[in-house]
Amino acid sequence: MKKRINLGAIVGLLISLSTLGYAASDSAEKYFESGLQKYIKGDAVASIKELEDAVRYDKGNAKYKNFLVKVLVEKGSEFYLQKKTKEAFSCFEKARQYDPDNKKVNDMYSVLKKELFPGTNTIENISPKENTEVLSKMLAEFQKTQQQLIDKSFGNKDQTLKGVLDKSSEERQQFLNYLMKRDDDIKNVIKDSQNVVTRNFNSAIIMFILGIIAVTAGLVYFSFKLSAKREASFLQHQEKILLSMVKNTEVNTNKMLSASSPFELIEGSHPKNRVKGVEIIEAELVDEVDYEVAQRLLVPFLEDKDYKVRANAAKTLYKYNHEKALEILKSMGKSKERFERLNAVFALGEIGDAETSKILLSLIEDNDYHVKRNVLKFLQRTIKTKKEIFQEELFEKISKKLTEIKIKEGWII
């Protein structure tokens, strides 16, 4: 009997341990997703905090660690360019702690250490004046290598999860074998006290059943009471919702009747709704021959404060007034805001003709990694799939530039 109790306790313990493990993994994934979102929004400091929590919950996850090291190095480089050498050194020191075997991280750390603490043993033959140039080259090499690691980590997600589960299963089996062996060692003691254990077990069963009955009765009582309270609350909320729907219907109907254009109908709504509005206009204008109608519908969206709405509107307008559309996209491509430039690149790349390729070629040296990567991707795709639209001189110029960047900077397009 006691053996059954012990086995039940073991199984319960194993289930609890397994549940805690899955909870930690789920927490790590949530922290990672949160950190990834903050990184995309440009908040590297908050992103680092979330990613560190993800790594803390799941220390063996290469995806989390590789991405955290990438963000730390990028933020450290940003601090260094802002003359905040101590903050930069702190970021590289953290990156080195998370990935001590990464030679490129160690080299960048050594360069900064030499600048902060002259006289220490670091990389030889590097003067202080050369630090910025050396760090820039090292950062470019690091980004290529680290991105490959990150891509590999994301691509092998299922295989990694399988390995973790197999290892966890093996550890649980080893623990169970240990407990079973210990149970065999005390078998004789259990036999000698069998009568006492039986009586105690029967008493425990009776008390347990009585406890279950009492708890069940209490739960049933409180369940009925709570159900009645919830039903009353639900009816009140339902009444408020219905009244609110009536008011909103009146407001929206008045707005639709007074609106003079599609833009006025969705103005002030979420940017996703305005983007969808542009897509609907584009679909409706497939067979549209009246250019004035197209421009009247799209021009208001060109002044939208959201970069994606503005870029999509310019892309759609290109078919009807390419001069105006190119003017907008060129202006966005020169913006100091990286997301504005990135949306301009996507719009130009999706148009994909000779004129937009010229503009993309002018943006090929952008200092933002994501902007430059997409410029290279769209140019490569356009010259491969639409070679016939290019004059020979422009085609050769683009091809030569792409080849030069691939060889010189090691880009994988």
* Third-level CATH fold of 2-173: 1.25.40
Cβ-based burial of 39 (10 A; exposed 0-12, middle 13-18, buried ≥19) = buried
Helix/strand/coil (H/E/C) assignment for every residue in the chain: CHHHHHHHHHHHHHHHHHHHHHHHHHHHHHHHHHHHHHHHCCCHHHHHHHHHHHHHHCCCCHHHHHHHHHHHHHHHHHHHHCCCHHHHHHHHHHHHHHCCCCHHHHHHHHHHHHHHCCCCCCCCCCCHHHHHHHHHHHHHHHHHHHHHHHHHHHHCHHHHHHHHHHHHHHHHHHHHHHHHHHHHHCHHHHHHCHHHHHHHHHHHHHHHHHHHHHHHHHHHHHHHHHHHHHHHHHHHHHHHHHHHHHHHHHHHHHHHHHCCCHHHHHCCCCHHHHHHHHHHHHHHCCCCCCHHHHHHHHHHHHHCCCHHHHHHHHHHHCCCCHHHHHHHHHHHHCCCCHHHHHHHHHHHHHHCCHHHHHHHHHCCCCCCHHHHHHHHHHHHHHHHHCHHHCCHHHHHHHHHHHHHHHHHHCCCC
Distance, CA of 85 to CA of 108 (rounded, Å): 12
CA distance 329 to 359: 9
**Residue 193 pLDDT:** 63
Task: Tell me the two tokens of residue 163.
Answer: 């390995």
pLDDT at site 374: 94
Q: Which of 347, 338, 346 is nearest to 366 (CA)?
A: 338
CATH 1.25.40, domain 262-409, yes or no: yes
Identify the residue whose tokens are 């101590």: 86
- Cα distances (angstroms) measured from residue 328 to each of 334, 345, 346: 10, 12, 13
- Nearest-5° Cα angle at 405, 400 to 408: 120
Note whether 404 and 393 are within 8 A (CB): no
Instruction: Please identify every stretch of the chain with a pLDDT value under 50, giving residue numbers as ranges.
Output: 2-3, 5, 7-22, 122-125, 158, 160-169, 171-173, 175-180, 182-183, 186, 246, 249, 252-260, 263-265
The pLDDT value recorded for residue 168 is 38
Give the pLDDT score at 121.
Answer: 53
Both structure tokens of 123: 């990389």
* pLDDT confidence of residue 344: 92
Task: State both tokens at 400.
Answer: 């030569």
